[in-house]
Structures are given as structure tokens and as C-alpha cells.
């Protein structure tokens, strides 16, 4: 994986990017005073409540509460991971993203690898029309020219060095072909093409770049088709596995990637559910049937990284497997991977197909409507979980109910805190009669939730500073209010330091510095709030808030020292400090 993106680069990027331009390329915006408005893309609404502030470089929806920077918008709207969103923004303003290695070394540039794999995909695509067997197979599968182009399908011809001859023009290119997993070496040291006589499926990353390939041997007995081309000569069955994937490379890790995810994102701006199938052709068949919501794992069981990627794409994930033993084993692994990712609002379902059927054959028989009906009737994870756990358990006996509870507890413990976990624990108690250990997470979180909406001087000061970061230049360090024992004081001081160091800072830049920290969500919320009054009034309110914080800090210290004085515990320095605080209480205060 690439190195860390330096904070300084994120700062520069968010100063140079105009969030209005970024969002306007994806949503129609209309000016409303100093802001821009649109109907929110993250929930259904008829009247605009989605506000974009060019001053703060922030967006905020007053309907659903969505808010964030240009980076957050691309992550949510384009369904990009953080590094990909940064890359996308950087490209739009002509910047190259630097990386900091964890060993502080330079980041290796993979541009040549991406370009080589793209050239390989183009070469395979050019070979497809030249193979009568491959053309007949695609026709027999009912693949349209548009689908072939959308998925960039290709053909690797017979012979040991077709790709090498096409792309391996020099030692550097051969090195790249090897690094990308496109060639392999024999016992005698001779290089040869890894993929030969296979239908080729380019595997794309989240930015649509080719990172690997899957290759399928064409069966000597393709699906029956009425098309006369289906009788064209077929490729021989060949040796080796039916599907062959690229090996692990610097760009490709099969436990992270999903086939057709790029195409799903391109076809759906808002995705209610996503379907996981087992094979490339199964996914493509659903896209061909106008169900562009299918992805496939790459010859491996569903991983936790797969699950997180899926739930980032859609709140509902349907795992679609064969109903045989292997399919049910794969489904259970998918359940285990999904459990830790099931935060409130996310749901997983399981669809088991009739014996002898796969998504490709079933959607041909039943059409889009029939397959959608099956998706609608898929088994919720909760039902599947308890059905599997209780498969050989006699819940009519005490021993059986105890066994059910013991099996379920470790799995339920993987779930994040929230309503779904609470309800499953209640269901387990109902089925087994065994009372679970009551957790206090919700009770403990309640005061925090109340503090989130509580108005305070610290929050007011932070909100006003995010509205006008240039106010930081008017505050001298050291900050007297730092002595105040209240939540958020340290964050305010840190924001002031950042804004003083970067006079061109905007709210987006300041907030993004806290990404990954507990304060991040609260700062996003405060930055998204609308400002009341003009800039001069806000400036006065800001300084008044700081002054009141300084007064409160002094009052806290006076109270502390007075208490120690009554018990005779003050030393000479503290006695002097207390006299100064008492004398200053009635005197006018300098600006903080």
C-alpha cells in the first residue's frame, strides 16, 4: 500500500480546492446569499436544504445532518476511500499526492504499472474480435457489445508470448510485466504469458484503474443459443483451473478488491443494496439483465475488508450463494466477516439459490423481475444466524438452550454496540432463556450525547473561529483560557495555533487536521452550522467568549487557592498568586 499522506499536503489541497466547483460538477447548485443550495444527494427531499459554504469550504444538510469537507463529499457521493478522494481532488487542481513511508522513505511511484496494465487490457480487448470461439462464447452468454465494452472484456490468445511480444519491448517493460503478475517464469528461466486461451476480465480499483485480471477457460460446451454463431468452433477445454486470477502484486490484494464494484458505482449514484455473487460471469449477467448492483469476490472468502467496502457502497448487502454445502460454508464466512461491520442502519441478507442454478442461469429464466423478487425475499442475517446455530440443537431441553446460548454469545460479541446488537441479545434470551450480561454502553454514552447539543462558551468560540479562521491572528499566545478545566479547551487552543500558523486556512482545512480523532465528528458538526450576524458581530462575540473563558479560568483558580488557604496549605508563591487574582477580579481585563 502507499505511504501516509502528509497533513501539510491535505492543508494545501483544501486551501486550493473550491468545494463549490467540486460539488457543482455533480449537483446543480443555486446561489442563496453567501451560500449555495441544492436538494441533498444523501436523502430524498423536494425543497433544497443542502448548503455549501465557499467561505468555510464546507457543506451541511439541514435535513439529514450530512456535513463535511470536499474530501468527505467525494467519499460519500462518489463512494471513494479517503486516499482515493484525495487523489481525485489533487488531480483536479494539478497536484501530485506525496506519501510518507512508515519508514520515512520515498514512496515508490506506481504510475508505470497502472499504464502497463491498462495497455494489457486494451491488447486483450483487441484480441477478442479475432477469436471466433471467444465471440461465440460471449454471444451464447447473451453479452451485448455495450456490456463487453463496459467491462473491457478481452481474450488472451494461444501461445506462450503474445503479451510479451506486444508489450515487453525492453528490460524495463519486462520487469513491469513480471511485477504486475502478467508473466511467469519456467524451470528453464524462460518467461511466458500467465494468461493463455482465456476470456479476460480486467479487475478495476475504486478509481477505475486496471490493477489485475481474471481469466476464464472457455468451456467446450457453451450455453445453448439460437444464434448461428454459437456453432462456431470452440476453444479447447485446456488445462488448469477454470478461473485464474493475477497473483498478489503491489497493486492487487484479492482480500480487498471486488470485481465490478467500479461498474456498480458508475451505474448508481445512490445505491440501496448491493449483491455479492461468486463468479465474474454471474455479476456480469445481472448487469446485462439491467440489475447493475452485483459484485463478485475474487476467488476468496468474504473478508472483513470486503464487508466494510460493501457497506460503504450500500446500507443493505445481499450475499447470494449456491444452496449446496460449499455455498453455505461461504455464506457463514460472509456472516462472520459482516458481524463487526453491522453498525446501526446496516443490514445483511442471504439468498440461497435452487440446486443446479446460479445467478446467470436464474436471471435468464426468471428475468430481472423474478430475480428482484428473490432479492426482496432474502433471509435477514438474524434469521440465518439463529437458524444455523440451532440446526442440531434441541431447544426444548435445558441442555440444548444452554448450547445455543454458548454458540451465539461469541458471535454477538463481535457486533458493534447499538440497537441491532441489543435486539439480537434479547432474541437470544427469548430463545434460550439465558439472561445475557447487560451492557452499560448506551447509558454511559447518554451524557456524551447530551453534551453534543449543549451550548457552551468553548463550542461557541470554536464555531466562530471556524467561521472566521483569520480571527486567530488577533489572539496572542500563551492563551490564558487554557487554565479553564472544561472539555474542548485544548481543541480550541490547537485550532488557534493551526490558524495562526496558516493565515490562509479555512474551516475545511482546520477540521480535516482532526480526522481520525474523537473530536472530528463534533468539529464537522460545528463547522456545518450556519453563522448568525455579519463578520464584525461574530468577531465581537468570539473575543467576548474568550474573555469569559479567561474569567472562568481565574475564578476556578481563585476557588482552588482559597480552599487551600483555609486549610493552611498555601506556599509563598501560591499566596502571591491568590493576592494577584483577588486584586484582578475587580480590575478591567486585557483582551485574551
β-partners of residue 52 are: 36, 59
**At 83, is the pLDDT very low, low, confident or very high (cuts 50, 70, 90)?**
confident
Quote the mean pLDDT of the chain. 84
**At 505, is the pLDDT very low, low, confident or very high (cuts 50, 70, 90)?**
confident
Q: Which residues constitute the domain of residue 78? A: 7-92
Note the pLDDT of residue 442: 37
Q: Is the peptide bond before 334 cis (omega within 30 degrees of 0)?
A: no
Q: Are residues 565 and 431 in the same domain?
A: no
- Do the domain assignments include residue 317? no
> Closest by alpha carbon to 218, among 140, 117, 275, 325?
140
Q: Are residues 433 and 455 in the same domain?
A: no
Q: Are residues 427 and 497 in the same domain?
A: no
Q: Are residues 55 and 161 in the same domain?
A: no
Q: Which of 234, 252, 270 is the last residue of a domain?
A: 252
Q: Are residues 410 and 484 in the same domain?
A: no
Q: Are residues 57 and 152 in the same domain?
A: no
Q: Which of 203, 220, 252 is the last residue of a domain?
A: 252
- For 27-51, write each residue's pLDDT tens digit: 889 988 888 999 988 887 878 989 9
Note the pLDDT of residue 101: 56
> Is residue 495 exposed (0-12), middle (13-18) or buried (19+ Cβ within 10 Å)?
buried
Q: Are residues 114 and 226 in the same domain?
A: yes
- Do the domain assignments include residue 279? no
Across 71-95, b (16+ Cβ under 10 Å) vs e yields bbbbbbbbbbbebbbbbbbbebeeb
**At 220, is the pLDDT very low, low, confident or very high (cuts 50, 70, 90)?**
very low
The CA radius of gyration of the chain, in Å to the nearest whole number, is 30
**At 450, is the pLDDT very low, low, confident or very high (cuts 50, 70, 90)?**
very low
**Cα–Cα distance between 536 and 243 in angstroms, integer?**
67
Note the pLDDT of residue 361: 92
Q: Are 18 and 26 in contact (CB under 8 A)?
A: no
Q: Are residues 121 and 212 in the same domain?
A: yes
- For 252-303, write each residue's pLDDT tens digit: 998 889 999 999 988 987 788 999 999 999 999 999 999 999 999 988 899 9
Question: Where residue 53 sits, what CATH number does that domain have?
Answer: 3.90.580.10
Select the highest-mean-pLDDT range: 131-140, 453-462, 533-542. Answer: 131-140
Q: Are residues 113 and 241 in the same domain?
A: yes
Q: Are 197 and 156 in contact (CB under 8 A)?
A: yes
Q: Are residues 51 and 158 in the same domain?
A: no
- Do the domain assignments include residue 550? yes
**At 221, is the pLDDT very low, low, confident or very high (cuts 50, 70, 90)?**
very low
Q: Are residues 115 and 225 in the same domain?
A: yes
Give me 6's grid cell. 502528509
Q: Which of 189, 217, 252 is the last residue of a domain?
A: 252
**At 532, is the pLDDT very low, low, confident or very high (cuts 50, 70, 90)?**
low
Question: Where residue 542 sits, what CATH number does that domain have?
Answer: 1.10.860.10
- Do the domain assignments include residue 304? no
Note the pLDDT of residue 418: 81
Phi-psi region of 567 (alpha: psi -120 to 50; beta: other; left: phi over 0): alpha
Number of separate domains in the chain: 4
pLDDT at residue 455 tops 70: no
Note the pLDDT of residue 59: 92
Strand order in the sheet with 154-156: 154-156, 198-204, 210-216, 243-245
For residues 141-148, give the mean pLDDT.
Answer: 95
Amino acid at each position: 500500500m502507499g505511504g501516509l499522506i502528509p497533513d501539510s499536503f491535505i492543508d494545501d489541497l483544501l486551501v486550493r480546492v473550491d468545494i463549490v466547483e467540486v460539488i457543482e460538477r455533480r449537483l446543480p447548485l443555486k446561489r442563496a446569499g453567501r451560500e449555495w443550495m441544492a436538494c441533498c444527494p444523501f436523502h430524498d427531499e423536494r425543497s433544497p436544504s443542502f448548503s455549501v459554504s465557499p467561505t468555510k469550504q464546507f457543506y451541511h444538510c439541514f435535513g439529514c445532518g450530512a456535513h463535511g469537507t470536499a474530501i468527505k463529499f467525494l467519499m460519500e457521493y462518489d463512494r471513494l476511500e479517503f486516499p482515493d478522494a484525495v487523489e481525485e481532488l489533487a488531480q483536479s487542481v494539478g497536484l501530485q499526492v506525496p506519501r510518507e513511508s512508515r519508514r520515512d522513505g520515498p514512496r515508490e511511484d506506481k504510475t508505470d504499472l497502472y499504464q502497463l496494465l491498462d495497455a494489457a487490457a486494451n491488447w486483450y480487448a483487441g484480441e477478442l474480435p479475432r477469436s471466433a470461439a471467444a465471440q461465440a462464447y460471449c454471444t451464447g452468454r447473451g453479452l451485448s457489445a455495450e456490456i463487453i465494452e463496459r467491462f473491457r472484456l478481452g481474450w488472451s490468445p494461444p501461445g506462450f508470448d503474445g503479451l510479451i511480444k506486444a508489450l515487453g519491448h525492453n528490460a524495463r517493460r519486462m520487469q513491469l510485466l513480471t511485477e504486475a503478475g502478467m508473466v511467469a517464469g519456467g524451470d528453464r528461466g524462460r518467461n511466458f504469458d500467465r494468461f493463455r486461451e482465456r476470456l479476460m476480465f480486467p479487475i478495476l480499483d475504486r478509481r477505475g484503474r486496471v490493477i489485475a485480471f481474471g481469466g476464464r477457460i472457455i468451456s467446450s460446451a457453451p450455453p445453448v443459443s439460437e444464434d448461428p454463431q454459437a456453432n462456431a468452433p470452440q476453444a479447447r477445454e485446456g488445462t488448469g483451473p477454470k478461473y485464474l486470477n493475477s497473483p498478489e502484486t503491489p497493486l492487487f490484494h484479492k482480500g480487498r478488491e471486488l470485481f465490478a464494484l467500479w461498474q456498480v458505482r458508475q451505474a448508481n449514484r445512490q445505491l440501496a443494496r448491493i449483491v455479492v455473487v461468486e463468479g465474474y460471469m454471474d455479476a456480469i449477467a445481472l448487469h446485462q439483465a439491467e440489475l447493475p448492483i452485483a459484485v463478485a469476490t475474487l476467488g476468496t472468502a468474504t473478508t472483513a475488508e470486503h464487508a466494510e467496502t460493501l457497506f460503504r457502497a450500500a446500507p443493505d448487502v445481499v450475499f447470494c450463494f449456491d444452496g449446496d454445502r460449499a455455498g453455505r460454508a461461504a455464506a457463514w464466512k460472509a456472516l462472520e466477516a459482516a458481524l463487526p461491520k453491522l453498525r446501526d442502519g446496516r443490514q445483511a441478507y442471504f439468498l440461497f439459490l435452487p440446486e443446479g442454478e446460479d445467478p446467470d442461469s436464474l436471471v435468464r429464466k426468471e428475468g430481472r423481475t423474478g430475480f428482484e423478487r428473490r432479492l426482496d425475499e432474502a433471509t435477514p442475517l438474524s434469521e440465518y444466524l439463529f437458524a444455523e446455530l440451532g440446526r442440531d440443537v434441541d431447544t426444548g431441553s435445558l441442555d440444548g438452550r444452554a448450547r445455543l446460548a454458548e454458540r451465539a454469545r461469541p458471535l454477538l460479541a463481535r457486533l458493534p454496540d447499538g440497537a441491532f446488537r441489543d435486539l439480537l441479545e434479547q432474541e437470544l434470551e427469548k430463545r434460550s432463556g439465558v439472561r445475557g450480561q447487560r451492557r452499560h454502553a448506551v447509558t454511559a454514552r447518554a451524557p456524551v450525547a447530551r453534551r453534543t447539543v449543549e451550548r457552551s462558551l468553548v463550542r461557541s468560540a470554536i464555531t466562530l473561529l471556524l467561521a472566521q479562521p483569520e480571527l486567530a491572528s488577533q489572539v496572542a499566545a500563551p492563551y490564558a483560557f487554557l487554565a479553564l478545566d472544561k472539555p474542548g479547551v485544548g481543541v480550541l487552543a490547537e485550532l488557534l495555533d493551526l490558524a495562526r500558523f496558516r493565515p490562509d486556512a479555512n474551516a475545511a482545512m482546520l477540521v480535516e487536521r482532526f480526522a481520525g480523532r474523537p473530536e472530528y465528528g463534533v468539529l464537522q458538526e460545528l463547522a456545518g452550522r450556519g453563522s448568525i450576524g455579519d463578520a464584525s458581530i461574530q468577531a465581537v462575540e468570539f473575543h467576548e467568549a474568550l474573555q469569559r473563558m479567561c474569567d472562568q479560568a481565574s475564578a476556578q483558580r481563585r476557588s482552588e487557592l482559597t480552599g487551600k488557604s483555609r486549610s493552611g496549605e498555601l506556599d509563598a508563591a501560591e499566596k502571591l498568586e491568590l493576592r494577584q487574582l483577588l486584586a484582578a477580579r475587580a480590575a478591567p481585563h486585557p483582551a485574551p
